[in-house]
């Protein structure tokens, strides 16, 4: 970490201002070469943790932009290194020319996640916290945001350190049994109990791993049903825009159409699908196959039927199949109630909501129903943390190791072997927090970050 790095931290093209970050031992010297401050002040001499208005000077002594310099000397910065942040105007030409100037003055472009990596190597954050930063940036629901913020503040690291503490205590009992032979059996029981407790905790975390995708990515809501049932109309109503084509021709929607919106702290992806019916048209068949796949993948299915006509026996079979297969995630919508309802509709008794695209009040009711369903979904997710694949794999490895250790208790315990195995389990835990992780492992973690983070 002897070189000084630079990157743009804000996305290009949105908003009035952009933020550039320069971090490394030569941050001040480098910026001093290209900055001009009023009253002959020098970046190299201003006090740390101050903000200065000034200009960036380009080749030929031209002013590239008027900017603010934020000076943060080591170790009181995000990376723990000397850092200067520059707020300039958000124009791609300005940004490019400033970056070029800073590189000419001696910095190099940062790699993805390099600022966070430096913060980790300088012990400003641990690995779980660094990983939480990535989650934080990409959080698509309020729940994900809250959990990643808590993890950034160290909730996951704290949890792991408690597991580590229990293991270290088990190791201490194990080592003590070398000295106090009379108490060996008692120590053995204690160790066994400690390990079983850790396994229970790992299992709780493991159970929720799969459904965590919902917390992360938001909710997938698929609109499914017969041709002409009004799927695209409801899709457009929920979106409040005419995104999907609506006509009275059966089979209008041929492919899957996705659109997203934020509502009450969650990101909803609405998925309009092709109507389900028997057809010889190859394109339509492919569309229908995709509809079933979307139903499978979705967190919630809006199963829509047209109340103004009966279902054919073939359609009825498809509906009942979907209902049995996805019982818990289906909302059954009886659509077109503004038209006269056919008598004894097959699905009337199962209806969750009677609907009409012409009625704004019913739209609000449908949205409320969706929100209730989502709330139940989230209530089922008790996970205290958002785990990533790396952390999940390490937890699996730890669990397996603990089971291997417990198996040692089936025979006369050899405490030397037990001690060795416990140390291996501790090694896995320290990979979780990053206390001992290989360079290659670190690169894997940080390469998923964006440049500028």
Ligand X SMILES: Nc1nc2c(ncn2[C@@H]2O[C@H](COP(=O)(O)OP(=O)(O)OP(=O)(O)O)[C@@H](O)[C@H]2O)c(=O)[nH]1
The β-bridge partners of 353 are 333
Q: Select from 238, 246, 331, 425 the one that contacts ligand X (CB under 6 A).
A: 246
Does a cis peptide bond (omega within 30 degrees of 0) precede residue 75? yes
CB of 272 to Mg ion, least distance (A): 6
Nearer to ligand X, 129 or 228 (CB): 228
DSSP assignment string, 398-452:
HHHHHHHHHHGGGS---HHHHHHHHHHHHHHHHHHHTSS--HHHHHHHHHTSPTT
Nearer to Mg ion, 185 or 245 (CB): 245
In the block, tokens 């995630």 appear at 329
Nearer to ligand X, 189 or 247 (CB): 247
Q: What SS3 state is found at 372? A: helix
Q: Select from 54, 80, 113, 230 the one that contacts ligand X (CB under 6 A).
A: 230
Positive or negative torsion for Cα 425, 383, 135, 449: positive
Tell me how long the chain is: 453
Angle, helix 114-121 to helix 439-447, in steps of 10 degrees? 140
> Is the Cβ–Cβ distance between 224 and 332 less than 8 Å?
no
CB of 108 to ligand X, least distance (A): 54
CB of 306 to ligand X, least distance (A): 7
Burial 152-171 (b: 16+ CB within 10 A, else e): bebbbbebbbebbebbeebb
Starting at the edge strand found earlier in the chain, the sheet holding 330-335 runs 257-263, 266-272, 219-225, 300-306, 330-335, 353-354
- 351's contact among ligand X, Mg ion, none, with CB below 5 to 8 A by partner kind, is none
Q: Select from 25, 201, 251, 316 the one that contacts ligand X (CB under 6 A).
A: 251
Q: Which stretch binds Mg ion (CB under 5 A): 92-100, 131-139, 253-261, 365-373?
A: 253-261
Q: Select from 67, 107, 229, 428 the one that contacts ligand X (CB under 6 A).
A: 229
- 338's contact among ligand X, Mg ion, none, with CB below 5 to 8 A by partner kind, is ligand X
CB of 208 to Mg ion, least distance (A): 35
Q: Which stretch binds ligand X (CB under 6 A): 62-70, 95-103, 128-136, 251-259?
A: 251-259
- 373's contact among Mg ion, ligand X, none, with CB below 5 to 8 A by partner kind, is none
Starting at the edge strand found earlier in the chain, the sheet holding 50-57 runs 35-36, 50-57, 63-72, 83-89, 17-23, 5-8, 108-109
Q: Select from 28, 82, 147, 336 the one that contacts ligand X (CB under 6 A).
A: 336
Q: Select from 51, 63, 103, 339 the one that contacts ligand X (CB under 6 A).
A: 339
Q: What SS3 state is found at 68? A: strand
User: Is residue 231 part of the contact set for ligand X (CB under 6 A)?
Assistant: yes
Nearer to ligand X, 114 or 272 (CB): 272
User: Is residue 232 part of the contact set for Mg ion (CB under 5 A)?
Assistant: yes
CB of 331 to Mg ion, least distance (A): 18
- 357's contact among ligand X, Mg ion, none, with CB below 5 to 8 A by partner kind, is ligand X
Nearer to ligand X, 65 or 315 (CB): 315
> Is the Cβ–Cβ distance between 166 and 429 less than 8 Å?
no
> 265-304: which residues touch ligand X (CB under 6 A)?
274-275
Q: Which stretch binds ligand X (CB under 6 A): 171-179, 250-258, 374-382, 405-413?
A: 250-258
User: Is residue 273 part of the contact set for Mg ion (CB under 5 A)?
Assistant: no
The pairs formed by 11-16 with CB atoms below 8 angstroms and a separation of 24 or more are: 12/90, 12/92, 12/95, 13/90, 13/92, 14/90, 15/90, 16/89, 16/90
User: Is residue 253 part of the contact set for Mg ion (CB under 5 A)?
Assistant: yes
User: Is residue 215 part of the contact set for ligand X (CB under 6 A)?
Assistant: no
CB of 362 to ligand X, least distance (A): 9
CB of 359 to ligand X, least distance (A): 8
Q: Count of CB atoms within 10 A of residue 49's CB?
A: 11
Separation of alpha carbons 420 and 199, rounded Å:
19
> 352-381: which residues touch ligand X (CB under 6 A)?
356-358
Q: Is 281 exposed, middle or buried (0-12, 13-18, 19+ CB in 10 A)?
A: exposed
Q: Which stretch binds Mg ion (CB under 5 A): 73-81, 145-153, 218-226, 247-255?
A: 247-255
Applying CB under 5 A, the residues found at the interface with Mg ion are 231-232, 252-253
Residues within the interface to ligand X (CB under 6 A): 227-233, 246-248, 250-253, 274-275, 335-336, 338-339, 356-358
């Amino acid at each position: 970490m002897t070189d000084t790095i630079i990157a743009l931290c804000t996305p290009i093209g949105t908003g009035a201002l952009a933020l550039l970050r320069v971090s490394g031992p030569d941050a001040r010297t480098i910026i001093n070469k290209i900055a001009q401050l009023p009253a002959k002040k020098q970046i190299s001499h201003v006090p740390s943790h101050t903000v200065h208005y000034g200009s960036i000077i380009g080749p030929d002594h031209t002013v590239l932009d008027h900017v603010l310099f934020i000076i943060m000397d080591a170790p009181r910065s995000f990376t723990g290194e000397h850092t200067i942040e520059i707020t300039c105007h958000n124009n791609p030409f300005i940004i490019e020319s400033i970056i070029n100037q800073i590189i000419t003055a001696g910095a190099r472009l940062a790699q993805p996640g390099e600022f966070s990596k430096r913060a980790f190597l300088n012990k400003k954050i641990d690995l779980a916290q660094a990983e939480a930063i990535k989650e934080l940036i990409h959080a698509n629901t309020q729940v994900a945001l809250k959990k990643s913020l808590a993890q950034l503040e160290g909730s996951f690291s704290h949890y792991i350190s408690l597991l580590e503490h229990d293991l270290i205590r088990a190791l201490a009992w194990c080592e003590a049994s070398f000295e106090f032979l009379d108490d060996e059996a008692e120590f053995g029981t204690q160790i066994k109990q400690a390990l079983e407790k850790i396994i229970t905790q790992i299992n709780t975390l493991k159970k929720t791993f799969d459904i965590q995708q919902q917390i992360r990515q938001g909710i997938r809501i698929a609109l499914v049903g017969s041709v002409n049932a009004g799927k695209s109309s409801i899709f457009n109503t929920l979106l409040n825009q005419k995104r999907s084509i609506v006509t009275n021709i059966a089979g209008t929607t041929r492919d899957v159409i996705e659109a997203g919106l934020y509502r009450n702290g969650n990101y909803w992806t609405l998925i309009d699908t092709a109507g389900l019916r028997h057809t010889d048209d190859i394109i339509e068949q492919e569309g229908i196959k995709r509809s079933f796949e979307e139903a499978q993948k979705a967190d919630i299915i809006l199963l829509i039927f047209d109340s103004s006509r009966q279902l054919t026996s073939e359609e009825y079979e498809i509906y009942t199949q979907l209902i049995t297969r996805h019982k818990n995630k289906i909302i059954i919508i009886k659509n077109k109630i503004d038209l006269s309802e056919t008598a004894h509709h097959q699905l009337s008794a199962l209806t969750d909501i009677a609907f009409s695209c012409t009625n704004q009040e019913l739209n609000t009711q449908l949205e409320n129903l969706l929100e209730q369903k989502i709330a139940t979904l989230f209530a089922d997710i008790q996970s205290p943390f958002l785990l990533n694949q790396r952390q999940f794999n390490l937890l699996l490895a730890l669990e397996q190791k603990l089971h291997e250790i417990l198996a040692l208790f089936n025979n006369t315990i050899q405490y030397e072997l037990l001690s060795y195995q416990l140390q291996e389990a501790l090694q896995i835990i320290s990979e979780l927090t990053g206390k001992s992780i290989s360079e290659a492992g670190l690169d894997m973690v940080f390469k998923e970050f964006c440049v500028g983070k």
